[in-house]
Amino acid sequence: MTPAEAYAALLRRSREIGIIQSCTALLSWDQQTYMPTYGASWRGEQMAYLSVLAHQKLTDPQVGEWLTQVESSALTEDPQGEEAANIREWRRSYDRAIRVPQALVEELARVTTLAQQVWQEAKAQNHYAAFQTHLEKIVRLKREEAQAIGYTDHPYDALLDEYEPGMTTTTVRTLFSHLTRKLMALVQRWSTSTRRPDTSLLRRDYPVERQKIFAEGAAAALGFDFSRGRLDVAAHPFCTGIGPGDCRITTRYNPRYFSEAFFGVLHETGHALYEMHLPAQHAGTPLGSACSLGIHESQSRLWENQVGRSLPFWEHFFPRLQQTFPQTLVDVSLESFYFAINEVRPSLIRVEADEVTYNLHIVLRFELETEMLTDNLRVEDLPGAWQEKMSKYLGLTPPDDTHGCLQDIHWSFGGMGYFPTYTLGNLYAAQFMAAAKRHLGEAELQQDFRRGRFTPLRDWLVQHIYQHGQRYRAQELCRRVTGEALHTEPFLSYLREKYEPLYTS
């Protein structure tokens, strides 16, 4: 077999695995949207079967032989070439997969599918004990996975690398340590200011059907294509790319709180724009896949916050919002509304947190994850540890576990190592937006937003981020787009520039 033939075989295998993964994505979407409650057990069997099938196809010894053949060929001469990028990422996936026993893959899929259903019920009933035994199994299995994959400094490295290739626990700790000190000072400064917004205007009567119409209109304006996607309701908002031409997002509506659904839709729309603009011709291969979850989160946070919570955005959309809810907002000015959606106030729920306090929620989860993984924190002690860290970082005490350690879905699906990507995404987003302003002009972008024109920014992101897939690793992509390695100052500068005038004028 020639290197070209081996590469063609790898392409076919990659696309086969991609199809299997798209099937599991569709089953997962159905589970969180329309699946009957009692379908969880059989769904676990389905997910376990497909996970094992994908694992078998990836760990086939032939894959290793094909990789060895192409790695020493001319196909890898250009490190950023299409073939070399695919080969690099196939090698990474293969090396991780062959270390993980098939039985562990199967057990993780089965356990986490059932755990998601139990988590949803435990959260609704504020019954941590019902979920505890499932989380104990998941933590044990993730420890086994980390040991099987291997690591240099910390077992968390093996899990973090799944979501953010090349990132380490040490680097995250360093970034988070610097960011936390700065953020806590800013939170103290702005949350105790005598200037306070009237946030009660966000908790008036917002009928769900009208919220849905308004949110869909905003998503479409940003570029969400409803002929290639859909918006549904789920207990925890998410976006999933099923495949080319099929990207699905969800939200949850609260008739007495506008921000919950609307900014959730903008967040998931940011994810969807990335998925919808990945090169379809490379579907099922690394070049047709997102760079990393940190880069993915940069897009959700960029569109939700840097665009969706900006004043120019609402100069366009606020008159339409008043038309949609005429009685609710009859006495509300644009300035009052803008201040309300940008309130800085420590809160209990991560997905409802403001831009300034949000990352403190992530630091809390990162610390708890690393402690559970190394057995420095027993799962049975998680509720108390959560309360201690919530008090330390945000000065709050959750009234119950529903508002504490049960609020997120991630641990139920085995997503240990996922949470840091949210903060990494915020940092990437700030650097990307600063670069976009330099290239497109800050005044020009603001004028675009006032007119409801988001195509220039979207096209710039497609050109510099979306179209590359996994051609570059996240940190290399950041340097190419912004000219700098990832660091905290662009994000902190963005916060100061935006919030200082609101709270000190």
- pLDDT for position 202: 98
pLDDT digits 0-9 by tens, 402-449: 999 999 999 999 999 999 999 999 999 999 999 999 999 999 999 999
Cβ 277 vs Cβ 289: under 8 Å: no
CA distance 162 to 61: 22
- Residue 110 has a pLDDT of 94
pLDDT, residue 235, reads: 86
DSSP character at residue 240: E
Among 451, 458, 459, which Cα is nearest to 269's?
A: 458
Give the number of other Cβ atoms within 10 Å of residue 279's Cβ.
18
CA atoms within a 13 Å half-sphere pointing along the CA-CB vector of 51 = 23
pLDDT in tens, 135-144: 999 999 999 9
What are the percentages of helix, strand and coil residues in the chain, rounded to 5?
70, 5, 25
Residue 277 has pLDDT above 80, yes or no: yes
> Residue 236 has what pLDDT?
83
Nearest partner of 426 among 346, 378, 503, 356, judged by Cα: 356
Residue 290 pLDDT level (bands cut at 50, 70, 90): very high
What positions carry a catalytic annotation? 268
Q: What pLDDT does 309 receive?
A: 98
Q: Which residues contact 28 (CB under 8 A, 6 or more apart)?
A: 47, 240
DSSP 113-124: HHHHHHHHHHHH
Which comes out higher in pLDDT, residue 110 or 236? 110
Q: Residue 82 pLDDT > 80, yes or no?
A: yes
Model confidence at 505: pLDDT above 90: no
pLDDT band at 273 (very low <50, low <70, confident <90, very high): very high
pLDDT score for 332: 98
pLDDT in tens, 147-199: 999 999 999 999 999 999 999 999 999 999 999 999 999 999 999 999 999 99
Contact 318, 334 (CB under 8 A): yes
User: pLDDT per residue over 42-72, tens digit each?
Assistant: 999 999 999 999 999 999 999 999 999 999 9
Q: What are the angstrom distances between the C-alpha of 483 and each of 56, 432, 458?
A: 41, 10, 20
Give CA–CA dist 338/340, Å, rounded: 5
pLDDT of residue 80: 85
Query: Which domains, from first to last, does the chain contain?
Result: 3-150 (no CATH), 170-504 (1.10.1370.30)
Is the separation of the CB atoms in 50 and 20 below 8 Å? yes
SS3 34: coil
Residue 485: the pLDDT is 96
Assess whether pLDDT exceeds 90 at residue 84.
yes
| Torsion-angle region of 22 (φ positive above 0: left; ψ -120 to 50: alpha; else: beta) | alpha
Kind and range of the H or E run holding 68: helix 61-71
As a whole number of Å, the CA-based R_g of the chain is 23
**CB distance 235 to 120 below 8 Å:** yes
Q: Distance from CA of residue 439 to its chain's centroid?
A: 26
Tokens 């709180």: give the residue: 257
Position 200 pLDDT exceeds 90: yes
Least confident of 32-46, 264-278, 433-447: 32-46
Beta bridge partners of 247: 229, 241
Q: What does the mean pLDDT of the chain come to? A: 97
Q: Which of 127-131, 159-163, 235-239, 378-382 has the lowest mean pLDDT?
A: 235-239
Amino acid at residue number 298: S
Cα–Cα dist 477/483, whole Å:
9
